[in-house]
Structure 1
């Protein structure tokens, strides 16, 4: 009986590992937010890019210049930092890891890259905290470096 139980352990571990990587509606919805943000950014639409963020004074963005609270100040910072299409470049996200935390919370870890031939490429890593607010997945906290 002990041998039989020990033989089941690898099977149970494999099953639980597969369950964490299965596409779920939450993962799909969150990836769609990131896809929409990428499309908006790449057409030079910063306001459209911001639609992925929580339109609240409680939104927090953590970047190289410190903390920014609120949707409007975050939009203003993006517009200052990326005043035109040349500065914005073309955005790609990679190495995305979407981790649902509950039915209404998740985080995403990944890499961002801006291809900007005229002014030089930039990129880094990020941790996004998503919450489901009024039926929509939105970014409530963004730590990008």
Structure 2
């Protein structure tokens, strides 16, 4: 994990940011993602992720590398708005790993139609601060 964080360092230096401000900005990214998901808009949801072939997603089916492959996997697993449901996050911990890297641990919940059944699990994501804002560079969801 540490190698991934080092390998994805932005090329342009961004000024150091207060941890409280950083965490508030990350909460906003996650809120926007939940809103996008709940509207059935996966492309919007994916804007919270680093748009790179080096994005790492770890799920029940193993490792996925790359922004586009992660989006394609989501589209296969959640083909329509009823399969997606309403997404909420319950953040358990935000831990600053460096001024430009924050680990977020929490629980996700999908409220869906009775026929589809609700889903939930835990996640840990690593956010990295880039010139255009905070992006998820690694996601482990179960």
Indicate how the Cα distance of structure 1 residues 103 and 135 shifts in structure 2: closer, same or farther if over 3 A, else same.
Answer: farther
Aligned residues: 124
Deviates more, 1:29-38 or 1:91-100: 91-100
Q: Secondary structure at the match of 2:27?
A: helix
Deviates more, 1:60-69 or 1:117-126: 117-126
Q: Deviations over 1:65-84 (max 9, x none)?
A: 00000000000000000000
Unpaired stretches in structure 2, ≥5 consecutive residues: 1-18
Q: Deviations over 1:80-105 (max 9, x none)?
A: 00000110000010143111221100
CA contact (8 A) 1:112 1:125 kept: yes
Alignment of 1:49 with 2:53, yes or no, is no
2:129 alignment partner, one of 121, 129, 132: 132
Dislocated runs of 4+, deviation >2 Å: none
2:116 alignment partner, one of 76, 98, 119: 119
CA contact (8 A) 2:55 2:137 kept: yes
More helix by share: 1
The higher radius of gyration belongs to 1
Aligned alpha-carbon RMSD (Å): 1.4
Unpaired stretches in structure 1, ≥5 consecutive residues: 1-22
1:78 alignment partner, one of 71, 74, 89: 74
Q: Please, what TM-score do these two structures have when normalized by structure 1?
A: 0.82
